[in-house]
Amino acid sequence: MRILSFTSQKEIKKIMHGIGVDPYGMKIMLPKAINFTILLKGINNIAANILKQEMLALGADAAITRGALTGKTKKTDVLLIGSLAQFNSLKTKLKHQPFGLRSIGEELEKGIKDYFRDNFVLSLRKCSLDLGKRTHIMGIINVTPDSFSGDGLYRRGSSDFIGLALKKAEKMVEDGADIIDVGGQYTRPGARGISVIEELRRVMPVIKLLSRSIKVPISLDTSKPEVAKAALDAGAQIVNDICGLRDKRMIKLVAKYEAAVVIMHMLGKPVNMQTIISYHSLIDDIAVYLKNAIELAHSFGVKSDKIIIDPGIGFGKNPVHNFQIIKRLSDFKVLGKPILIGPSRKSFIANVLGDHLQSRIIGTLANCVVAAQNGANILRVHDVKEVNQSLRIFEAIKNADR
């Protein structure tokens, strides 16, 4: 006897093929073999009780607060427990129901579809990246006087940093980087901002050189629309906005240039983000922020295939929060966008393994593999070669039965 746990429909199909199941029977049975739970937040009591009855009628179940059954509370969270087949039946039944159940059914339909989506293609001006095919790597080039990881290349009054950046970028591409991300401002906890002029002085020579010297797309890590515009004019194709498109000028710029954009979640600013940490529900709060930012971007004309989301490891999160995000990363798949995550060499690793560079690298590799398993499409890292090697082993394990 074997007790099987599956991470994809393909694995279930392979078992059924091995048994010799008829294709028509496979089509019917496959949704029954996929089971999961769905959490709905703040549902009114009438709708919640109807949901529970409908789920029970389907042979599934729904968990709601005791007060929703007695009428003592007006709203409740609802935990739906069932198979994909049962959820498909529920969606059909809710289409003609009152009390907001129709919109819940539509949300379920879209969320389930997005959760299983794995065909992301990032459309760029000069190329496209098939992010569903494998986990991609974004290599970090810090054009700063220093950085938390000790790899800052910038020295004011010296032009050496430009050549050093090119050499580093070329090595990263050789080691497996699919994107190069250039940043000119500190974003570590407590960091204060720099002027637009200073940031331009740091990043623009590097952006110009890399754009004409290496084949992979260039991303700019900035929250300043003025810097983003100059970089896009110079050949960058992705804007990595740590402020999550809070500045509408950035949204308009991205839409105008048809650039790709990374929308990251962060509490406050780097200078205060670690002093204002407060969440009602970590994953839900981040997901709501990202969902609203996506909708805002769409309203300004940013195309769907240009958006990447990043839950913001280390940006307004404590060490436990960071591990929770990696553990629950697949929860963000319902937003229907490719997921980027950047755990590279960050201090939450040192909390477990000690504050040594080698420990941080080893911790980075572990985080990256688990993140890839849980749905990360892009990993933003310093140590491209080591992460690439780890992902190759991960892919070999994942595809071992194919």
How would residue 399 be classed by pLDDT, with cut points 50, 70 and 90? confident
Q: Encoding tokens for residue 152?
A: 């800052």
The percentage of residues in the chain with a pLDDT greater than 70, rounded to a whole number, is 94
Q: What is the pLDDT of residue 146?
A: 64
- The reported pLDDT for the residue numbered 271 is 74
Residue 272 above 80 pLDDT?
Answer: no
Q: Which one from 317, 333, 346, 360 is the annotated catalytic residue?
A: 346
> Which residues 6+ apart lie within 8 Å of 286 measured at CB?
265, 311, 312, 325, 332
Note the pLDDT of residue 273. 72
pLDDT number for residue 7: 65
In the chain the domains, ranked by start, together with CATH numbers, are 34-115 (3.30.1370), 121-398 (3.20.20.20)
Give this prediction's pTM.
Answer: 0.91
Q: Is the predicted pLDDT of residue 148 greater than 60, yes or no? A: no
For residue 194, the model assigns a pLDDT of: 84
Instruction: Quick: pLDDT tens for 203-243.
Output: 999 999 999 999 999 999 999 999 999 999 999 999 999 99
Catalytic residue (one of 317, 333, 360, 380): 380
380 is catalytic: yes
Of the ranges 20-34, 164-178, 225-239, 335-349, which one carries the lowest mean pLDDT score? Answer: 20-34
Average the pLDDT over each of 2-6, 77-81, 128-132, 277-281 and give the range with the smallest value: 2-6
Residue 184 or residue 189, greater confidence: 184
* Lowest-pLDDT range of 144-148, 314-318, 335-339: 144-148
- Predicted confidence (pLDDT) per residue in 70-95, tens digit: 778 889 999 999 999 999 999 999 98
For 330-341, what is the mean pLDDT? Answer: 96
pLDDT, mean over the chain: 90
